[in-house]
């Protein structure tokens, strides 16, 4: 049985050279075309990183980088948190530590300025990343069961155009980086027949048919306090159930004689 994960959110500036090399190696496990130079440039653009380690061995097995910026929407200041490179080693898929750590980070940002709108910008090249947003935050665009206000749609278009330039396709709502950018390796989180039957996954595949070639769907989620607290409660309960099952198995409870 795999160890549970433990997480920590730290400033990118505090990373050691060894940690940076470990992050790069993790990216190369799941993504093709990852160069050290491009990865270093992307990391330098972020202020924080969530580190995930195996609880027993301490091995670094996942991470997610974060950029925080202030933007203006219709004359009002909002805070945008952008999720950059994110990866968890396939052996540890199903763990909830990344979601919990991200939720805590967002809660801390929200508590700093409770009345300031908090938005989460993410690029989804795979459906698992997309589901992180739509499963927990109802006001996520795009999604099949909610039509965002026109002002919100205009904002995400202008933001993506400024941040990603000519790489952003406003008609498709996607970002296609140059050939030097990395993409999910073949066979990593494919959309098989069972996955395609899920309405959110089907919508993702329809909205971003180029995901197999590394095209990324631009998503923007509004982080309301009640949605965030509910998500954290749900994730914590899932973690507790997982730890309980592991504890029972370790003690032999439910094992055959």
Q: Write the burial class of residue 19 (CB in 10 Å: 0-12 exposed, 13-18 middle, 19+ buried).
A: middle
Q: What is the pLDDT of residues 3-12, one digit of tens each?
A: 479 999 999 9
Task: For residue 49, tell me if it sits in a domain.
Answer: no
Mean pLDDT rounded to a whole number for the chain: 86
Task: For residue 12, tell me if it sits in a domain.
Answer: no
Averaged pLDDT, 40-46? 93
Q: How many domains does the chain have?
A: 1
Domain of residue 73 covers: 67-83+91-246
pLDDT at 183: 56
Q: What is the pLDDT of residues 190-247, one digit of tens each?
A: 677 777 789 999 999 999 998 888 789 999 999 998 998 888 888 777 767 765 665 5
If you write DSSP's letter for every residue of 95-156 in order, what string do you get?
--HHHHHHHHHHHHHHHHSTTS-EEEEEEESSHHHHHHHHTT-SSEESBTTB---HHHHHHH
The pLDDT of residue 254 is above 50: no
Cα 256 to Cα 246, 247, 248, 249, 251: the distances in Å are: 16, 16, 13, 11, 12
Task: For residue 17, tell me if it sits in a domain.
Answer: no
Q: What is the pLDDT of residues 237-248, one digit of tens each?
A: 776 776 566 555
Task: For residue 54, tell me if it sits in a domain.
Answer: no
pLDDT at 250: 47
Determine phi and psi for 98, rounding to 5 degrees: -65, -45
The pLDDT of residue 175 is above 80: yes
Model pTM?
A: 0.83
Reported as type and span, the H/E element at residue 219 is strand 216-222
CB contact at 8 A, 170 and 157: yes
Report the number of secondary-structure helices (H) and strands (E) in the chain: 8, 11
């Amino acid at each position: 049985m795999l160890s549970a994960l433990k997480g920590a959110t730290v400033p990118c500036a505090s990373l050691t050279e060894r940690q940076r090399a470990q992050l790069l190696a993790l990216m190369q496990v799941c993504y093709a075309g990852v160069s050290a130079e491009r990865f270093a440039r992307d990391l330098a653009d972020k202020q924080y990183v969530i580190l995930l380690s195996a609880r027993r061995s301490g091995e670094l097995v996942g991470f997610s980088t974060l950029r925080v910026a202030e933007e203006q929407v219709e004359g009002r200041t909002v805070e945008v948190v952008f999720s950059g490179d994110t990866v968890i080693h396939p052996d540890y898929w199903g763990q909830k530590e990344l979601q919990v750590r991200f939720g805590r980070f967002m809660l801390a940002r929200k508590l700093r300025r409770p009345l300031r709108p908090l938005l989460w910008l993410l690029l989804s090249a795979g459906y698992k990343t997309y589901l992180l947003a739509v499963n927990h935050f109802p006001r996520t665009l795009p999604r099949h069961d909610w039509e965002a206000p026109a002002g919100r749609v205009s904002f995400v278009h202008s933001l993506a155009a400024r941040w990603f330039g000519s790489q952003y396709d406003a008609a498709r709502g996607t970002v296609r980086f140059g050939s030097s950018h990395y993409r999910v390796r073949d066979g990593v989180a494919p959309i098989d027949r069972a996955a395609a039957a899920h309405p959110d996954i089907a919508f993702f595949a329809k909205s971003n048919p180029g995901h197999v070639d590394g095209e990324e769907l631009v998503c923007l989620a509004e982080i309301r306090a009640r949605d965030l607290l509910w998500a954290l409660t749900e994730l914590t309960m899932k973690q507790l159930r997982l730890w309980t099952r592991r504890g029972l198995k370790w003690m032999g409870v439910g094992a055959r004689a």
